Amino acid sequence: MIDPLKKLKDKKKLANIDAIGHVTGKSTYVDDIPTMQGTLFIKIFDSPVAHGKIKTVDFSEAEQMPGVVKIFSKKDIPGENQIGGIIQDEPLLADDEVHFRGQAILLIVAESEVEAEEALEKIKIDIEELPAIVDPKEAFLKGQFLSNSRTFQLGDSKKAFESATYIFEGSADSGGQEHLYLETQGAYAYPMEHGSIKIHSSTQGPTQVQKAIARVLGVGMNKVEVDVTRIGGGFGGKEDQANPFAAMTALVAWVLKKPAKCILHRMEDMRMTGKRHPYRSDYKIGLDKNLKIVAYEAAFFQNGGAAADLSPAVLERTLFHATNSYFIPNVVLQAHCCKTNLPPNTAFRGFGGPQGMFVIEAAIDHAARILNVNASDIQQNNLLKDGDEFPYGQIVEDGEAKNSWNELGEKYDIEKIRTSINSYNLPTGQAGNKNTFSKKGMALMPICFGISFTNTMMNHARALVHIYTDGTVGVSTGAIEMGQGVNTKMVQVAAREFGIAPELIKLETTNTTRVANTSPSAASATADLNGKALLDACQQIKNRLIKMIQEVYQLEESAPIIFKNEKITIAKNGKEIPWHQVVTDAFSKRINLSAKGHYATPRINFNKETGKGHPFAYHVYGTALFTATVDCLRGIYEIDEVHIVHDVGETINELVDLGQIEGGLVQGIGWMTMEEIIFNQKGKLLSNALSTYKIPDIYAAPKTINTSFLPLRADNLAIYKSKAVGEPPLMYGIGAYFAIRNAVHAFNPNANFEYVSPITPERVLMALYCK
């Protein structure tokens, strides 16, 4: 067996510390925690209609069912029946009106899950159904909003359009996306002494869970301890939406003074939780005769669902990324947070950025098609360079848009690929045509993604480090491991600072009593924020050890002391002291071997009123090249090759970063091509299981993915210059959409089809034969 902790010569290749546990099934998740005697099980009775007034709910029969302990309604909530984060518009259990199918109304608590399920069937509800809205433009027209509309503006687009040579207008709609984390939402809670409660929650945001529970129970946050070992994927779906299920579980445990557990089944999870926001958008793009984009206007209609959740923040990030990697001097971007009768949509990898980027790419494709040029010519011609201004006022520094594009061009002969695709695609009837019913397409996709929570206040973190007297180290941070490898990176930080082997370091669970007031693990910033807080803690202890050595060996303060290979070396005389020796010496001298570190991202700021500032610590760039083949009889397609040049800064872990790039890419391809969320007009989720909602499997993944890392050119604010990698690669997936589209146009040059994603085989087939 491969030992994942085996010290590889190249530390950058340290395997994910969870790898063996995951493949052998030893890694534990909430549902694996052995249940205590007397544990109660919760089933949620949720709304069968998307909008309605509850007239009566009769659970008298359900209450009499075997094993049933209690049925909870909003009346049983001791504190506030409210879990809204940004806006206070979300009851934990429904009030008199329900606003989406899947909204929790009652909690059935029984001695077993089966008994709770059987009782659920006996509940009778009488609801007066009200009209439901599922489309954001309809909500917009009816004045249904979750929060204020927003505008970002740069230059004078009105004037710029007057002098533009070419102007194109259209619309582009992108669909939602189901998170489909392997571990569904769930929690396990039990009462503790002194009126407190402990809960294991599958959450990206333990502090958010703690807050929601304290509020619902009407107690202080200090009475609520949240503990997370790891989660089986989050992808944004557990940034906020673990809260209700944790709060329900805590409520039951608190009121009944018994351990309680709630784990959603897959179909319940799909029905009750929000997804990536579908967007409908209108664009207007203006170019001069040299294909410079001189003006861009866009209006985004976000389908927010029935409660705000994180929608206002997601909406804002759409605006931040609406011009992707391009400099456009005159811009007006408007965004509307529309209220519909769907489950509240929420964070999903990219956090609104992908939805904004899809629209500018559609606008560029539109212009290219009519002007009969390659979209890549327009893309390349407008890439950001240092000194350019983003519509939100930040100035490009150490930009890598052109570098990543050029590096891709040097590695792969783009014109040669284009020529071979063109000859493959020779029109029917033309000499040499061989592929009448098979066409290929290619597309380039540059990305630019800002790193930091757009809410400046959230960009700080803490960490706690203990060195035990035997020289082993325990590390607690606010980071949640969700498969992205952040714990492995944290081990690397501590190992590097103390100069000791990763085997000597243990990553503790993420726990609100050890590290408090955490931001959720999100915005791709987890390793930066927690890693730098950890660095601070390690350095504090190191400085104490250095001071001790200086005193013992009577060295001057500037004498270099090196921590490496489990030894502390005094550079001047080459004296080496083993790590564990230094630790025992320090302890016997009563030196503190524990430290709490803190980090707050410097420099960032953003003024929501003016829409200007410097919100991001840095940006992540990259460029991808896609080729795809479309079967023109059946409408099915394959992504043949993806070549990526990605800006990782200077990676601290190649394998983890590569995994994030490939995983993000395939998730992005899924969103753009095959993952189709369908609600009917009455707000009922039709794609409600894995039989009707298709995500990419190994056969749908590109046949080839070549990823290379762009060499580091400048310092940055990332942990050890290793840039955030979690979300940006998802947006490469947009390239798959345009590669497929271009193949369709090779078959049917007059195909007149809207920019609608996902570009499913059904849509492709219609487009292949449309006029």
User: CA of 157: how far to CAs of 152, 161, 248, 298, 610, in Å?
Assistant: 12, 6, 50, 11, 17
CA gap 80, 98 in Å, rounded: 18
Non-local (6+) Cβ contacts of 421 within 8 A are 440, 441, 442, 627
522 near ligand MOS, rule: CB under 6 A: yes
Of the candidate residues 239, 297, 400, 536, the single one contacting ligand MOS (CB under 6 A): 239
523 near ligand MOS, rule: CB under 6 A: yes
Contact mark string toward ligand HPA, 515..544, x via CB under 6 A: -------xx---------------------
Question: Nearest-CB residue to ligand HPA?
Answer: 523
Contact mark string toward ligand HPA, 239..278, x via CB under 6 A: x---------------------------------------
Q: Choose between 236 and 391: whose C-beta lies nearer to ligand MOS.
A: 236
Q: Choose between 347 and 604: whose C-beta lies nearer to ligand MOS.
A: 347
Contact mark string toward ligand MOS, 292..331, x via CB under 6 A: ----------------------------------------
Catalytic (active site) residue 111: no
Span near ligand MTE by CB under 6 A; candidates 188-196, 524-532, 588-596, 610-618: 524-532
Non-local (6+) Cβ contacts of 634 within 8 A are 761, 765
| Residues 291-320, interacting with ligand HPA (CB under 6 A) | 310, 313, 317
Per this entry, what is the length of the chain?
771
State the minimum distance, in angstroms, from the CB of residue 312 to ligand HPA: 9
Block residue for tokens 């016997």: 588
CA gap 167, 159 in Å, rounded: 13
Do the beta carbons of residue 473 and residue 480 sit within 8 Å?
A: no
Neighbour order of strands in the sheet with 166-174: 150-154, 331-339, 293-305, 279-287, 166-174, 755-756
State the minimum distance, in angstroms, from the CB of residue 763 to ligand MTE: 26
Q: How far is CA 539 from the centre of its chain?
A: 30
Span near ligand MTE by CB under 6 A; candidates 51-59, 118-126, 645-653, 724-732: 724-732
Of the candidate residues 271, 275, 349, 763, the single one contacting ligand MTE (CB under 6 A): 349
State the minimum distance, in angstroms, from the CB of residue 523 to ligand MOS: 5
For the chain, the distance separating the N- and C-terminal CA atoms, rounded to the nearest angstrom, is 59
Of the candidate residues 347, 534, 617, 669, the single one contacting ligand HPA (CB under 6 A): 347
Q: Choose between 228 and 527: whose C-beta lies nearer to ligand MTE.
A: 527
519 near ligand MTE, rule: CB under 6 A: no
Span near ligand MOS by CB under 6 A; candidates 344-352, 421-429, 431-439, 597-605: 344-352
Span near ligand HPA by CB under 6 A; candidates 45-53, 450-458, 528-536, 706-714: 450-458
455 near ligand HPA, rule: CB under 6 A: yes
Of the candidate residues 84, 85, 236, 615, the single one contacting ligand MOS (CB under 6 A): 236
756 burial class (0-12, 13-18, 19+ CB within 10 angstroms)? middle
349 near ligand MOS, rule: CB under 6 A: yes
Q: Which helix (H) or strand (E) holds 115?
A: helix 113-120
238 near ligand HPA, rule: CB under 6 A: no
State the minimum distance, in angstroms, from the CB of residue 318 to ligand HPA: 11
Count other Cβ atoms within 10 Å, centred on residue 491.
25
Question: Nearest-CB residue to ligand MOS?
Answer: 236
529 near ligand MOS, rule: CB under 6 A: no
Do the beta carbons of residue 280 and residue 135 sit within 8 Å?
A: yes
Q: Choose between 197 and 490: whose C-beta lies nearer to ligand MTE.
A: 490
Closest CA relative to residue 46, chosen from 92, 90, 121, 104: 104
Provide the pairing of β-strand 755-756 with 460-467.
unpaired
Of the candidate residues 254, 449, 453, 737, the single one contacting ligand HPA (CB under 6 A): 453
* Count of residues touching ligand HPA (by CB under 6 A): 12
Span near ligand MOS by CB under 6 A; candidates 210-218, 223-231, 346-354, 497-505: 346-354
277 near ligand MTE, rule: CB under 6 A: no
Non-local (6+) Cβ contacts of 410 within 8 A are none
> What sign does the CA torsion over 433, 434, 437, 441 have?
negative
State the minimum distance, in angstroms, from the CB of residue 700 to ligand MTE: 18
Closest CA relative to residue 90, chosen from 221, 216, 277: 216
Q: CB under 5 to 8 A by kind: which of ligand MTE, ligand MOS, ligand HPA, none does 454 bind?
A: ligand HPA
| Residues 185-204, interacting with ligand MOS (CB under 6 A) | 204
User: CA of 734: how far to CAs of 170, 559, 664, 695, 731, in Å?
Assistant: 18, 53, 11, 16, 6
Non-local (6+) Cβ contacts of 691 within 8 A are none
Non-local (6+) Cβ contacts of 360 within 8 A are 283, 285, 296, 298, 322, 323, 324, 326
DSSP-assigned beta bridge partners for residue 53: 97, 128
Non-local (6+) Cβ contacts of 458 within 8 A are 519, 523
Q: CB under 5 to 8 A by kind: which of ligand HPA, ligand MTE, ligand MOS, none does 313 bind?
A: ligand HPA
Q: Choose between 526 and 623: whose C-beta lies nearer to ligand MOS.
A: 526
Count other Cβ atoms within 10 Å, centred on residue 271.
20
State the minimum distance, in angstroms, from the CB of residue 471 to ligand MTE: 28
234 near ligand MTE, rule: CB under 6 A: yes
Q: Which of 61, 727, 754, 762 is catalytic?
A: 727
Do the beta carbons of residue 557 and residue 622 sit within 8 Å?
A: no
Q: What is the largest CA-CA distance in the chain?
A: 89
Count other Cβ atoms within 10 Å, centred on residue 705.
18
| Residues 475-504, interacting with ligand MTE (CB under 6 A) | 482-484, 486
522 near ligand MTE, rule: CB under 6 A: yes
CA gap 723, 757 in Å, rounded: 30
Is the omega angle on the peptide bond into residue 758 within 30 degrees of 0, that is, cis? yes
Question: Which residues of the shown chain bind ligand MTE in the complex (CB under 6 A)?
Answer: 233-236, 349, 482-484, 486, 521-527, 660, 663, 724, 726-727
Residue numbers at the binding site for ligand HPA (CB under 6 A): 239, 310, 313, 317, 347, 351, 453-455, 458, 522-523
What does the binding site for ligand MOS look like in residue numbers (CB under 6 A)?
Answer: 204, 234, 236, 239, 347-349, 351, 522-523, 727
Q: Which residues are catalytic?
A: 727
